[in-house]
Structure 1
């Protein structure tokens, strides 16, 4: 392709002369001669860097430059996600066209499911790429990092598989990227789409669970053939069986081919993995495992490949991660109502002592999601012997995640209205210190929250070292 054709395909306005595209799509920091840089915004300094590196063009949605003399062609677009979808599609076709591709989306569990499918594949000795990492930094597909990574991975080995996580809802600066899952899945053109669940999150980008259903189901509408792997235990996901008649539907869960019983995971009547071989047995982990097992079996992997892959799997960071024993401290990225309910239920099962819950309020995300999270937390802890600590994490979050006064007020207000006792501690370090000093060895401490709880593992490690010394 040349620059003029690229500008036309992303519905962009070409500023400057065109030319040949002979590199790859990438970020400004990784750009080399002949590459195309995709960047949400760019200013004079960014343009200068691009020029010095000899890039072929810059694609941006927000041009912060008044300079009339630019020696780098610039393509100005209305929707940057269209450019990133083109980058993803072009890169796959150019560097990994023969790969077998799986797209995973949904509100909760998509990162673990993606990660586990990839682990089963690589443990079986096959080459695979995934965009899901320990912090889920590359799963949004709203910048060209994934395209860049695919090109780099394909230069080292031929990729047999790609397991790509697709955000169910995405936005930028308060603007919802309408049909994000559909656009990105279209770019991937997978042979399999895995849907985990549909629940409320991303308040402000979506207004109802119907909006989430529409966005998630877009991934199924994006492909013309293949397999849809659907969660039978989620009624909204179950309803997606009728979304695209061109796809063959396979269910997992209580009404599916792959299901969990007390002694293990079954495919039909065959026991694939015994319960004592599972790394965790929490409800949400089981659901993710069922999705991954179903996907792997549909891809043609043997029971033994799947068993070994699941048995040796190590969860992503902050996915029901055990940080320490005595007391048992569990850290989970429970950032929306369904995640909170599932995580508290899992932590409360088989308690030997008291349950402590430290919950970080979601900062700078608005009142609605915090009201819903507080309601889920109140419902989850009712009837439990629980000591609840709420924190704003003011000592450790940046300005983008700072808890605003109205967010704190509505969160705590919901707990007050439901008669839930709690202690609010402004700083995360102080909250964790109080709990560690107060909890008994047979107690369980559950850490809940999104960005506000991210630093907890390092704080726990530091506090434990000081307590022991």
Structure 2
């Protein structure tokens, strides 16, 4: 492709002269000569860096520079940066990994673990595979060209037989919803299979109802003109997606599908694939993700033995019901929306030996609605339990983008008050965790819940325990 063709394909306005594109799509920090940089915004300093590196062009949605001062770098100005990133993803796959078998995974909860586990099953079976879900889930949004860059780099090291790509169900930038994100990115990936985990409320402000989430998630199925849809039969909204695209073959997992869980393990039809005592975790949400991953792997042609070995050796992503310490047992989970909170509390509560302690981080700078819904889910989950609840704003450890605002704190605590849930609000995360570790008995369970506000907890606990020993 040349620069003029790229501008036309993304409905962009070309500033400066065009030319030939011989590199890869990438970020400004990783750019080399001949590459195209995609960046949400760029200023004079960024343009100067791009020029010094000899990039072929810059694509941006927000040009913070006088166009007349642009150096010798063509700039393509677009209305929707996600269109450019979809093109980058599609072009990169076709250029560097066109023969790969591709799987897209989306949904509100569980998509990171499901993606990660499918990839683990594949690589444990000795096959080459790329995934954009890593231990910190940094590269799963597809709203910048990092994944395209990583695919090009991975394909330069080995021929990729498989690609398992996590697709966000809803995305936005500066309060603007990137409408049809899952459909756009799935179309760019051109997978033979889409796995959908569930549909629930999250990303308040980008979506207004669960119907909006349904529409966004199901867009991944509408993007395909053939292939397999792997659907969660235990989620009624996902189950209803079976009729969305008649060109797809639908396979269910869960209680209404061939791959299901019973007390003694995971079965496919009448065959026991893996026993319960061989599973690395048995929490409710982990089981659901495992069923999804196993179903996908079997549909891809992997054997029961491949699946059993992959699941048995799987290690969870960071902050996915992660066991941090014993005596007391401390469990850390990225429970950032109502369904995640309910599932995590249920999983922790089913194996209590002593008292339950819950430290919950309020979601900062995400608005009142999601915090009201999270507080309602927390109240509902804790109402019949003997629990010591501590709520924190994590003010000592979050950045400005995740700062808990006064109205967010107020509405969260108000919901707990209305539901008669006792709690202690502690402003700083370090103080909240210190209080728990000083007062919990060795037989107790401590559950850490929350999104960005709870991210530093593992490091803080490690520091506190070292100082106390």
> Which string of whole-angstrom CA distances, capped at 9 and with x for unpartnered residues, describes residues 83-109 of structure 1?
000000000000000000000000000
Tell me the equivalent position of 1:53. 53
Q: CA deviation at 1:388?
A: 0.2
What SS class does the counterpart of residue 432 from structure 1 fall into?
helix
Structure 1 gap ranges (5+): none
Give me the CA root mean square deviation.
0.4
What SS class does the counterpart of residue 136 from structure 1 fall into?
coil
Distance 1:249 1:268 in 2: 16
Distance 1:231 1:113 in 2: 12
Structure 2 gap ranges (5+): none
Q: CA deviation at 1:377?
A: 0.1
Distance 1:215 1:77 in 2: 22
Contact 2:433 2:461 in 1 (8 A): yes
Q: CA deviation at 1:184?
A: 0.1
Tell me the equivalent position of 2:381. 380
> Structure 1 runs of 4+ off > 6 angstroms?
none
Tell me the equivalent position of 1:26. 26
Distance 1:398 1:350 in 2: 35
Q: CA deviation at 1:66?
A: 1.4
Q: CA deviation at 1:143?
A: 0.1
Q: CA deviation at 1:282?
A: 0.4
What SS class does the counterpart of residue 68 from structure 1 fall into?
helix
Q: TM-score under structure 2 normalisation?
A: 0.99
Tell me the equivalent position of 1:297. 298
Tell me the equivalent position of 1:97. 98
Q: How many residues align?
A: 466
Distance 1:394 1:135 in 2: 22
Q: CA deviation at 1:67?
A: 4.9
Contact 1:114 1:292 in 2 (8 A): yes
Distance 1:23 1:61 in 2: 21
Contact 2:363 2:452 in 1 (8 A): yes
What SS class does the counterpart of residue 193 from structure 1 fall into?
strand
Contact 2:15 2:67 in 1 (8 A): no
Tell me the equivalent position of 1:150. 151
Contact 2:123 2:129 in 1 (8 A): yes
Q: CA deviation at 1:134?
A: 1.2
Distance 1:200 1:350 in 2: 28
Distance 1:11 1:257 in 2: 45
What SS class does the counterpart of residue 105 from structure 2 fall into?
strand
Distance 1:133 1:442 in 2: 33
What SS class does the counterpart of residue 369 from structure 1 fall into?
helix
Contact 1:44 1:67 in 2 (8 A): no
Q: TM-score under structure 1 normalisation?
A: 0.99
Distance 2:67 2:108 in 1: 43
Alignment map for 1:293-372 (pairs within 5 Å): 293-372=294-373
Distance 1:12 1:136 in 2: 30
> Which string of whole-angstrom CA distances, capped at 9 and with x for unpartnered residues, describes residues 354-376 of structure 1?
00000000000000000000000
